Structure 1
């Protein structure tokens, strides 16, 4: 019996298609927003901080994610300019989204006279949880997978049948790297919740997110077959290494400098 992939379209209203990818991303963003609002209130931030922030950050992050992807695939898009805006055909990069989101948050905090590091610390667990959920959008679209494998190998991983079946793409089974990253990100979410109680200095929680995510991404990216390449390594691997070094270096700098930075749990 032939295995049929899951339909990536959740709702179809005439010419309008609503994809599972978009629904999953929206649910992740909404859940992350609720968590950030609750924690932000505890940390003494204005009630509307994260609602207002997400209104700007999400669309800018999506645009930056597309720009990032197109920039590293310019050899194709320079010949097919009409495809540059065709995000419905795939092609957004999470690091581009993070760059856009961070830049937006910096400007937002300056306008609102808020501490960027305080706002970023609170939202860090929400971001990585959203990333964990978002990878299931890749699952529905059969993207972000690894190299070829066999059904027997997938079944030996004790994966449920719906995941094994979805990894059959054009007659070939592939490694579910989307699942690896989803699990890694969810573990990072739990870790950041624990680190909240450790009461790190301001900024260190967000940098812990950057380091954790980049560590996992640097390995998992090497297993994927749809990555943007730059020389011998994938673009995301280069960027992950840079971010790990930057994150560790910044925390060490803060600690060695012995600057009197507020603690995370300070009101």
Structure 2
């Protein structure tokens, strides 16, 4: 029997992508989760910004820039690598509520927006990156549950107690008879919560030891730690964006680990500040 609730005896089953409907207005879980992540992330970033002497109003303005950069970047990144799916229906590329965004595209778009924002207001990019990093990884932890409600971004078949039920219409070709898969959305959400704890601890440790924590450290630790988790979780997924035989997310994650570790070595081994990107 198909499970009819979110969790049944440890087995996950999505209740569907629609949260509720008011006449012609359809409210989807994916949109609610993204909106929640933005609001909670703003609250957290404002509190952290105050600890670094940046006014909450400035963080509110930065949020607008980040949304304008990150959401289109996330969608464009995904669509470019899945263009065969949208070539005959290009307007579907705008239907972000149906799922299909890539966090690496969001990070790239958000980074560009932050660079421009830092130039506009004459602030330190690395200071801003350190403040935003905890909100970013928290937003990733929340946003991953959008994949759960859309029955997407799941992993290989499994019989583990926490297996995820996937409806027949969402199953990969050749696996139509297989009901249960790895809940990779859950793995990544939990990993991101762990990274959140790490970077928050580091941020507040830096407040107590301002002469020992260098600008950019929190962001570099986030980038390397997130990439490490994504590297192995991506290996379980069946729907990875591909470039030939390579899983794009794993290639980018390897680069993220290298950049994160390399940046930390630059800061603390070579004892040089990170290059000013502003």
TM normalised by structure 1 equals 0.87
Assess if the C-alpha contact under 8 Å between 1:227 and 1:234 holds in 2: yes
Could you tell me how far apart the structure 2 residues matched to 1:89 and 1:31 are?
22
Could you tell me how far apart the structure 2 residues matched to 1:136 and 1:218 are?
19
The 5 Å alignment of 1:111-126 reads 111-126=120-135
The 5 Å alignment of 1:70-219 reads 70-150=79-159, 153=160, 155=161, 159=162, 167-170=165-168, 172-199=179-206, 200-219=213-232
Could you tell me how far apart the structure 2 residues matched to 1:126 and 1:134 are?
12
Q: Kindly provide the CA deviation profile for residues 157-210 of structure 1, in whole angstroms up to 9, marking residues without a partner as x.
A: xx4xxxx5x623226111101110001000000011111233221101101000
Classify 1:118/1:230 alpha carbon distance in 2 versus 1 (closer, same or farther; 3 Å): same
- Which residue is 2:7 aligned to? none
Structure 1 ranges of 4+ moved more than 4 A = none
Structure 2, unaligned runs of 5 or more: 5-13, 169-176, 207-212
Structure 1, unaligned runs of 5 or more: 262-267
- Which residue is 2:210 aligned to? none
Q: Of 230, 233, 244, which residue of structure 2 is paired with 1:220?
A: 233
Classify 1:109/1:168 alpha carbon distance in 2 versus 1 (closer, same or farther; 3 Å): same
The 5 Å alignment of 1:225-264 reads 225-259=238-272
SS in 2 for 1:149: coil
TM normalised by structure 2 equals 0.84
SS in 1 for 2:235: helix
Q: Kindly provide the CA deviation profile for residues 56-94 of structure 1, in whole angstroms up to 9, marking residues without a partner as x.
A: 211331111111011112233334323322323332111
SS in 2 for 1:148: coil
- Which residue is 1:35 aligned to? 44
- Which residue is 2:10 aligned to? none
Moved more, 80-89 or 13-22: 80-89
Q: Work out the number of aligned pairs and report it.
A: 250
SS in 1 for 2:48: helix
Assess if the C-alpha contact under 8 Å between 2:214 and 2:267 holds in 1: no
Q: Of 47, 54, 67, which residue of structure 1 is paired with 2:76?
A: 67
SS in 1 for 2:94: coil
Could you tell me how far apart the structure 1 residues matched to 2:95 and 2:62 are?
26
Could you tell me how far apart the structure 2 residues matched to 1:75 and 1:12 are?
32
Q: Kindly provide the CA deviation profile for residues 110-167 of structure 1, in whole angstroms up to 9, marking residues without a partner as x.
A: 10111011111011111101111111111111111101223xx2x2xxx4xxxx5x62
Q: Kindly provide the CA deviation profile for residues 25-76 of structure 1, in whole angstroms up to 9, marking residues without a partner as x.
A: 2112211111110111121012312111111211331111111011112233
